A and B are shown apart, each in its own frame.
Chain A
Amino acid sequence: MNLSKVDNIIQDYKGNPSSLVMILQDIQEELNYLPEPVLNHVAGKLSLSVGHVCSVATFYSSFSLEERGKNVIRVCDGTACHLRGANLLKDEIVRALNISEGQTTEDKLFTLEVVACLGACALAPVMTVNKKYYGQVTREKLLATLEKYRQKDSCVLSEPNDSKKTD
């Protein structure tokens, strides 16, 4: 594994151990997850124990120690979304992709995460795919959206275009 990117990130924070959380965030942004050798490497560079780095990496829910899919679907289960059928939406994705919460599809195309609140309560139920928001998601809209990302993967388009305002 090429660790030069990791070293650059550590350098950005001047190797300061109190920046550990942000260093791990930047590494995950770059590598999509936190592989074990990287955690060991970070611990060495910051003169921290591997145990300490691992405790931080496993404490915060945004860190993943496993490789995630190309597209990360986040279903909001905030209170407003919960009341407007977030569970139904989650179940529908589970059925459509045959994975459960926290898992990644075999083709590494999708990872399903359930998060506490995305703060877009007016659009409940909400999900995001990567950084794009999809509001008032119905069953039909969901299936169409998943299909769009599958298509995108096979013909290498940029982010799918949506003409409708709340997609």
Chain B
Amino acid sequence: MSYRPTIVAFLCNWCAYTGADLAGTSRLRYAPNIRIIRVMCSGRIEPTFILKAFQQGADGVLICGCHPGDCHYQEGNYKCLRRFKLIQKYVDQMGIEKDRLQLEWISASEGRQFAELVNNMTKTLLILGPSKIKSSLEVEHLKQ
């Protein structure tokens, strides 16, 4: 089977998820290899969720929230940004290339930008190749 990168995305309800919905209502086309999980605010996204997605075999994890200053909950996106910087360092140290984890701001009107983002990230992941983290975890498990 040829490599098809898998993206797990966490989108905030108010801007990014609505923007992704707009891509749909505008009938824009983007790569089908993304699965979206809705959270109320990007500030809700825990490191555990990101690691879980990688552990389960995701080749990339995408986080989208409201643009700076536009957060529905005032400042959740800033907290998300801070956590993102830390977790990106962490995944890098775990052997997950840091481009596999991306954070972008998508407003409720940016359906086009969302579609482009998915396509661009897919291209990046095609170049990076499949994530090795899941198979290496499985080997560790067998040793035990």
Tell me if chain B binds chain A: no
Binding site for A on B (CB under 8 A): none
Binding site for B on A (CB under 8 A): none
